[in-house]
Amino acid sequence: MRDHAPNSWENRADRFALYGFTDLPSVQSRGAVVVTHGEGPHVVDVHGRRYLDANSGLWNMVAGFDHPGLIAAAQAQYARFPGYHAFFGRIADRTVELSERLVEVSPFDRGRVFYTNSGSEANDTMVKILWFLGHLEGHPERRKILTRWGGYHGVTAVSASMTGKPYNALFGLPLPGFIHLTCPHHWRFAAAGESEEAFSTRLARELEATIIREGPDTVAGFFAEPVLGAGGAIPPPKGYFQAVAPVLKRYGIPLISDEVICGFGRTGEVWGCQSCGFMPDAIIASKNLTAGFFPMGAVILGPGLADRVQAAAEKVEEFPHGFTASGHPVGAAIALKAIDVVLNEGLIDNVRRLAPRFAAGLAALMDRHANIGEWRARGLMGALEAVRDRASKAPFEAGLSVSERIANSCIDHGLICRPLGQAIVLAPPFIMTDAQMDEMFDKLDAALARVFAEVA
């Protein structure tokens, strides 16, 4: 709880920090949680209190907060070559190695990689690539971008326009030409009695009708998270990507898999597109790319788009886009180690081992609490949807701030989880043990019991 001393960490944070995506009434009454360091999957605040971080920081600290191999990789590269760019035909050796490795572990047999500093910038870059291709291939009208309501693709002006969240209206977004389709959440948006497969077929028909209405020659690309992350950890309904991918192929529209959250093991496979059974034309990566130890994003182009971008760039002698820290050698060194840690040091195996236990824990909480309307999970990302009434799926009144209250109660119990709408989202680190998984569910159970007793 808040330390009200005038020079407390909480008051200093309130005076000088501008919080993003933060429930300000909670901070004003409770104070910020100011953390000093982490130990495995736990973080420790300025008062010495420990919290099990069941959201891996912001989905990304999958190897925990003090992994010695990642720390050593960063230290060694800082000593060897602490910074560079990837402009003018100059590029660090570690960045070349990472590019080779990313194509190797991708679903593509060949491709090219472009680096950014975040997932938002990577999605922004991918849109610019599509617009670049349209302009130089003689189709300047090909600019419209299709995404889904509930999808999250970033916070830059372009990636926020892609993000299907109502708060972006506060910024006067989306920009023209960004079109949002139905959220693929079967529990919430399916018609009465509509199966998952039928729901997927309906959404594919909606996609095709939208393409025809807008004009196929005006659509530049379709972006989709394999599992919606900030939409509430929502897996696709059965047959969804198998229904929409042929529609996109029929009209020559690239399918971009936004793997900022799903990539590098979160769903139990290396890529979310593999978990969901589809082949994209490009992949957007960030977060787990460096296990959260460095800000880095990547656009991984499959062979078709890679060849087209290379040909288009040769027409004008360059691809006129980039960032000062694109392909930073320290980030590249950390990413190389992070990929090795996830794929070869047992982390992805642990995700697969824990996934059934994780799903069972969520299901058990729904069994114990009548105010949980749905549990959902894929790999180690999942959510519980709070409802006023399970049968009608009626949500709690917005003014009750139920998910925020649950998250705050979790903090009181030494657990960090994330409120999203009326859902509580969990995305624990890949290093979790059985005992830590049990601790997570026990603390969440206690928090749910407290809050539901107050509001039910």
Q: Is 339 helix (H, G, I), strand (E, B) or coil?
A: helix
- Please tell me the number of Cα atoms within 13 Å of 296 on its side-chain side: 28
176 shares its domain with 246 = yes
CATH label of the domain that carries residue 443 = 3.90.1150.10
Establish if 269 belongs to a structural domain.
yes
CB neighbourhood size of 440 (10 A): 23
332 shares its domain with 352 = no
Altogether, the residues listed in the chain come to a count of 456
Domain that holds residue 277: 70-344
Q: Which of 312, 344, 376 is the last residue of a domain?
A: 344
298 shares its domain with 213 = yes
Q: Which of 309, 344, 379 is the last residue of a domain?
A: 344
267 shares its domain with 401 = no
Q: Which of 288, 309, 344 is the last residue of a domain?
A: 344
Establish if 47 belongs to a structural domain.
yes
304 shares its domain with 211 = yes
246 shares its domain with 332 = yes
DSSP 8-state code for residue 7? T
* Structural tokens at position 136: 């130089």
Residue 254 backbone dihedrals phi, psi, to 5 degrees: -60, 140
| Bridge partners for 384 per DSSP | 375, 424
pLDDT tens string, the chain, 456 residues long: the values are: 677 788 999 999 999 999 999 999 999 899 999 999 999 999 999 999 999 999 999 999 999 999 999 999 999 999 999 999 999 999 999 999 999 999 999 999 999 999 999 999 999 999 999 999 999 999 999 999 999 999 999 999 999 999 999 999 999 999 999 999 999 999 999 999 999 999 999 999 999 999 999 999 999 999 999 999 999 999 999 999 999 999 999 999 999 999 999 999 999 999 999 999 999 999 999 999 999 999 999 999 999 999 999 999 999 999 999 999 999 999 999 999 999 999 999 999 999 999 999 999 999 999 999 999 999 999 999 999 999 999 999 999 999 999 999 999 999 999 999 999 999 999 999 999 999 999 999 999 999 999 999 998
The number of folded domains in the chain is 2
Establish if 39 belongs to a structural domain.
yes
CATH label of the domain that carries residue 129 = 3.40.640.10
Establish if 26 belongs to a structural domain.
no
Residue 434 burial class via C-beta count within 10 angstroms: exposed 0-12, middle 13-18, buried 19 and up: exposed
Establish if 200 belongs to a structural domain.
yes
Establish if 15 belongs to a structural domain.
no
Q: Is 137 helix (H, G, I), strand (E, B) or coil?
A: coil
91 shares its domain with 138 = yes
- The letter for the amino acid at 11 is N
DSSP 8-state code for residue 175? P
* Structural tokens at position 403: 């998910």
pTM: predicted TM-score of the whole model, two decimal places: 0.96
Q: 276, 241, 277: which is closest to 381 by C-alpha?
A: 276
DSSP string, 218-282: GEEEEEE-SSBSTTTSBPPPTTHHHHHHHHHHHTT--EEEE-TTTTTTTTSSSSHHHHHT---SE
Residue the block writes with tokens 């529209």: 253
pLDDT at residue 6 in the model:
86
79 shares its domain with 61 = no
77 shares its domain with 206 = yes
Give one word for 51, left, alpha or beta, with left for phi > 0 and alpha for psi -120 to 50: beta
DSSP string, 372-410: EEEEEEETTEEEEEE-SBTTTTBPPPGGG-HHHHHHHHH
Establish if 18 belongs to a structural domain.
no
Establish if 294 belongs to a structural domain.
yes
Beta strands 178-181; 112-116: pairing state: unpaired
- The string over 391-419, giving b where at least 16 C-beta atoms fall within 10 Å of a residue's C-beta and e elsewhere, is eeeebbeeebbbbbbbbbbbbebebbbbb
DSSP 8-state code for residue 322? -
